[in-house]
Amino acid sequence: MKKLIVYIMLTVFMISAVSGCGPDTEGSASGNAGSGSQNSGRQNSQVQTENIKYDENKLSDEYLVGMDYFTGDFLEFAPTVIVKVRYDGMLEAEFDHTTFGPGTYTDVRLFEMTEAQKDAVFSAIDLKHLFNLDPEEADPATTMDGGCSYLIIYDKQGDVYKRCGGFCPHNRDFNQMRRVVYENLPEEFLEYCEIFKKIWQDEENYIRDLGKYYKYGVFIGYDGELSALSYFDAIVIDAQYFDEDEIREYQWQYGHDVLSYINVGSVEEFRDYYDEYSDLALGEYENWEDEVWVDVSDERWQRFILDELAPELKNKGISGFFVDNCDVYYNYPTEEILEGLSVIMEGLRSMGLEVIINGGDTFLDAYCENGGVWSDVISGINQECVFTAINWEDDSFMAASDEDSEYFRDYIERYASLGAFIYLLEYTEDASLVKDIDGYCYNHQFAYCVSDTLNLDHIPE
């Protein structure tokens, strides 16, 4: 019923936003530029700003101007996003997820404006003139259709200083300024608005609906600036080699998820704790000369992972764990190894973060067959080489065999049907294979990352 009421209100408000409310509404209509949803809902855009006087000293040093941007088409049930043009040339957008139930949030994202876009907006916006315009509004009592349009001026604290505009505003100067902002929004912002609209329209399945548009990158070997990875919605890094300030600054600035690699089934020689636990080695790790499988049934190893390594990573502000080498159970399929691995995975899951298992099909199936519930040990699966394969003789890439591809697709699709989030990590430079991966992930609403190197140390061109 609530959605029906909002939809009816949306219909009424949007008709004149498209058809026009008066002789000077050409700038305010602008297709999607009208505010057609009652879900803009941002508290700072609802502040009463009557009876204040213009004072340049009170204006924000960070934000030039804000605007309410309606993400839908004519008569479409869709949300409004508050966008803020910053003086540094970035567009800051607030995507409100607070209608999605308990534990939800406002996702603040940054999008870079081109120099031309920045120059156009900065040239068009005259804050003093805008402040004093008081655009003439249509009379809702006599005008039965129309939309609200606003430009927002901010104060030093980043709060609303004045909301300029209103119901179907008639002033030509106001509409011209708003039109310039609307016509110079970054393309990446407009693309993400389409994603957010789908999320908002399907509240129960909003994460899964991200599909191929969810930008996922695996950079376990990366050691550069995290800001270079800001294109991605979620990144996987080895957080052991980044400090807390770097990770928290990245998340604060871009609002994106950071998952940390954690190796629970083997230990590499380059880790600073290798010597302390090398006595737990079970055997050599094929194709990785500096790595050995580790006895996960040993309580000393379990305590190290759960009481030292994982908490250290969590305290850096990561969003979750990217758990590698649960395939130790595939190589050593004993009851003790299964129990030890279960203890570790359940412990990681109890920390309240995402737990993405890399591969791990043999372990996960065995855990569930023995009465376990998949969601007690993972929240999602990252599967390597569903469509691609690695030739270990020369580290080259090729297409996966039909048999292997079918096996892994069955594995991830089974757990996806239960609610697990699915990510693919593929290795190739073959554009036709990438097209196949993209089509498959789009149809199944999975995310994927394609790398051109086993080192996972850079962004592919």
Write out the DSSP string of 373-412: -GGGT-SEEEEE-SSEEEETTTTEEEEPPHHHHHHHHHHH
In the predicted model, what is the mean pLDDT of residues 392-421? Answer: 95
The answer to whether the Cα torsion of 15, 18, 21, 22 is positive or negative is negative
CA distance 162 to 129: 12
Confidence of residue 17 (pLDDT cuts 50, 70, 90): very low
User: Is 50 exceeded by the pLDDT of residue 11?
Assistant: no
- The whole-number pLDDT of residue 433 equals 94
Q: Which domains does the chain have, with CATH numbers?
A: 2-194 (no CATH), 207-451 (3.20.20.70)
> Are the C-beta atoms of residues 59 and 155 closer than 8 Å to each other?
yes
User: Is 50 exceeded by the pLDDT of residue 30?
Assistant: no
Query: Could you identify the residue written with the tokens 């204006």?
Result: 59
Q: For residue range 38-95, list pLDDT tens digits in order.
A: 333 333 333 444 567 899 999 999 999 999 998 887 667 788 899 999 999 999 998 8
Expressed in angstroms, the distance from the first to the final Cα of the chain is 48
Buried b vs exposed e over 263-285: b needs ≥16 C-beta within 10 Å?
bbbbbeeebeeeeebeebbbeeb
Q: Which residue has the higher pLDDT, 435 or 100?
A: 435
Ramachandran sector of residue 112 (left: φ over 0; alpha: ψ -120 to 50; beta: rest): beta
CA distance 393 to 407: 23
Q: Read off the pTM.
A: 0.58
- The whole-number pLDDT of residue 45 equals 37
- The whole-number pLDDT of residue 100 equals 45
What is the number of residues in the chain?
A: 461
CA distance 16 to 50: 26
In the chain, the amino acid numbered 240 is Q
- The whole-number pLDDT of residue 142 equals 67
CA distance 250 to 219: 15
Q: Which residue has the higher pLDDT, 434 or 105?
A: 434
Name which of 7-11, 182-186, 194-198 the model is least confident about: 7-11
- The whole-number pLDDT of residue 119 equals 96
Q: What mean pLDDT value characterizes the chain?
A: 83
CA distance 322 to 259: 6
User: Is 90 exceeded by the pLDDT of residue 23?
Assistant: no
Confidence of residue 182 (pLDDT cuts 50, 70, 90): very high
Q: For residue range 298-322, list pLDDT tens digits in order.
A: 999 999 999 999 999 999 999 999 9
Name which of 141-150, 173-182, 451-460 the model is least confident about: 141-150
- The whole-number pLDDT of residue 135 equals 78
User: Is 70 exceeded by the pLDDT of residue 170?
Assistant: yes
The answer to whether the Cα torsion of 367, 369, 374, 378 is positive or negative is positive
In the predicted model, what is the mean pLDDT of residues 227-232? Answer: 90
Name the 3-class secondary structure at 9: helix
- The whole-number pLDDT of residue 49 equals 46
> Are the C-beta atoms of residues 155 and 58 closer than 8 Å to each other?
yes
In the predicted model, what is the mean pLDDT of residues 19-34? Answer: 35
- The whole-number pLDDT of residue 148 equals 82
User: Is 50 exceeded by the pLDDT of residue 178?
Assistant: yes
CA distance 36 to 11: 8
> Are the C-beta atoms of residues 341 and 317 closer than 8 Å to each other?
no
Beta strands in 123-256 (DSSP E): 148-154, 160-167, 216-218, 234-237
88-96 own/partner pairs: CB under 8 Å, 24+ apart: 89/113, 89/115, 89/118, 91/185, 91/186, 91/189, 92/63, 93/69, 93/189, 93/192, 94/42, 95/192, 95/196, 96/39, 96/40, 96/41, 96/42
- 202: Cα separation from own chain's centroid: 16
Q: Which residue has the higher pLDDT, 199 or 62?
A: 62
User: Is 70 exceeded by the pLDDT of residue 297?
Assistant: yes
Confidence of residue 329 (pLDDT cuts 50, 70, 90): very high
In the predicted model, what is the mean pLDDT of residues 219-231? Answer: 93
CA distance 289 to 292: 8
Count Cα neighbours of 354 within 13 Å in the Cβ-side half-sphere.
23
User: Is 50 exceeded by the pLDDT of residue 7?
Assistant: no
Q: For residue range 132-155, list pLDDT tens digits in order.
A: 987 777 766 666 566 788 999 999
Q: For residue range 239-253, list pLDDT tens digits in order.
A: 999 999 999 988 888
